[in-house]
Amino acid sequence: MHKFILLVYRWQIYNFFFIKTLKQSSFLSKKNIYLLAIESSCDDTSAAIIKDGEIISNRTANQDIHSIYGGVVPELASRQHLSNIIPVIDTCLKDADIEVGDLDAIAFTRGPGLLGSLIVGVSTAKGMAMALDIPLIEVHHMHAHVLAHFATENKPPFPFLCLTVSGGHTQIVQVNSFTDLIILGTTIDDAAGEAFDKTGKMLGLPYPAGPVIDQLAKEGKNVYPFPEPQVTDLDFSFSGLKTSILYFLQKETKNDPDFIKNNLNDICCSVQTTIVEILIKKLIKASKKTGIHHIAIAGGVSANHFLRQRLIETGENLGWQTYIPPFSLCTDNAGMIGITGYYRYLEGLFSDQSVTPLSRMEF
């Protein structure tokens, strides 16, 4: 009897470790890590699936409705996010050939952005995470633009500098690690993307005007000099440029009402050259100041052909290693949110269900 109890006891211990090992090995072998990422900070509704740190699907529903208004109308943006978000997530899961139950975590843009737009993405992420009982990972939209480089073959080593230029931000960021990013310079008024978009409005171009100006500038010459702002250190300013473009156009159209129509390509080329040279000069200054020669660009304006060309030329002259994201990762997309979320997942940086969207969010 005594021997039998001992046998049962040993069998139980054996079983315990056997099942535990089985569980551990299935956990280790299961497991590709699948993240769903959601981005809804402005006017693009986007979802992506990240498998072990790689984007395997990335879908964005753009909102054309704003183009006729010359800018994003927040109320319309939130309503469009509401109708787009579930179909976009659904398509994304299908593209990736996985089920919702395969997900290990949900990353989402917490801010900065339009509050009404953010609420849709944040609520969807929270609802799904609660139903699936998986972690929630908040992501800073501007970190994500920078870390989009880690979804490419050409990954920059730490530390590197990143010029992040979008519709709402213009920043030079020193990136020390996936979670240690420091702003060295920022705009004191308008962002570079805003300078493109507001110029486009004056020229009668549709919103967003950045890509249109980029195209028209290819056929034009840099013949109209605009003054560059004198801003100290690594900060930027674009509102003075906007005013001088306005005065210039008012003066010229007084003399010739068809001035814009007849000189559109040259105006676009001149404005674009001015904006890009301002950005490149500050990057040179930042590299000299920090001694960092790995230089990246990111954000919607990094899709600009002339900026990309000038970065490559400057890099060749100054011995920089340059990092330029593919066009698909320049403008807002959930892939970049997912990549950032993946590195936060590895560090266990999770949020709980009390997390709220932030229109302004500390970097």
Q: Which of 37, 301, 311, 329 binds ligand KG4 (CB under 6 A)?
A: 301
Q: How far is the CB of 118 from ligand KG4 (least distance, A)?
A: 12
Binding residues among 154-193 for Zn ion as defined by CB under 5 A: 166
Q: How far is the CB of 209 from ligand KG4 (least distance, A)?
A: 6
Q: Establish if 332 lies at the interface with Zn ion (CB under 5 A).
A: yes
Q: Which of 121, 135, 168, 185 binds ligand KG4 (CB under 6 A)?
A: 168
Structural contact between residues 319 and 292, judged by C-beta atoms closer than 8 angstroms: no
Q: Establish if 299 lies at the interface with ligand KG4 (CB under 6 A).
A: yes
Binding residues among 41-60 for ligand KG4 as defined by CB under 6 A: 42
Q: How far is the CB of 83 from ligand KG4 (least distance, A)?
A: 20
Distance CA 119, CA 156 (A): 33
Distance CA 338, CA 35 (A): 7
**Residue located via tokens 């398509």:** 91
Of the two residues 92 and 144, which places its CB atom closer to Zn ion in the complex? 144
Q: Which of 40, 84, 270, 331 binds ligand KG4 (CB under 6 A)?
A: 331
| Rounded (5°) CA angle 297-298-303 | 95
Of the two residues 166 and 171, which places its CB atom closer to ligand KG4 in the complex? 166
Q: Which stretch binds Zn ion (CB under 5 A): 102-110, 118-126, 210-218, 324-332?
A: 324-332
What phi and psi, each to the nearest 5 degrees, are found at residue 218?
-60, -25
Residue-wise DSSP of 130-190: HHHT--EEEEEHHHHHHHGGGGSSSPPPSSEEEEEE-SS-EEEEEE-SSS-EEEEEEBSS-
Q: Which of 103, 241, 245, 303 binds ligand KG4 (CB under 6 A)?
A: 303
Asked, as a colleague might, if the bond just before 112 is cis with ω within 30 of 0, I would say: yes
Number of residues that bind ligand KG4 (CB under 6 A): 19
Q: How far is the CB of 163 from ligand KG4 (least distance, A)?
A: 13
Of the two residues 322 and 331, which places its CB atom closer to ligand KG4 in the complex? 331
Binding residues among 176-235 for ligand KG4 as defined by CB under 6 A: 193, 196-197, 208-211, 214
Amino acid identity, position 237: S
CB atoms within 10 A of CB 346: 11
> In terms of Cα–Cα distance, which of 2, 334, 360 is closest to 137?
334
> In terms of Cα–Cα distance, which of 258, 170, 262 is closest to 216?
262
Amino acid identity, position 115: L
Footprint of Zn ion (CB under 5 A): 166, 332
Footprint of ligand KG4 (CB under 6 A): 42, 166-168, 193, 196-197, 208-211, 214, 299-301, 303-304, 331-332
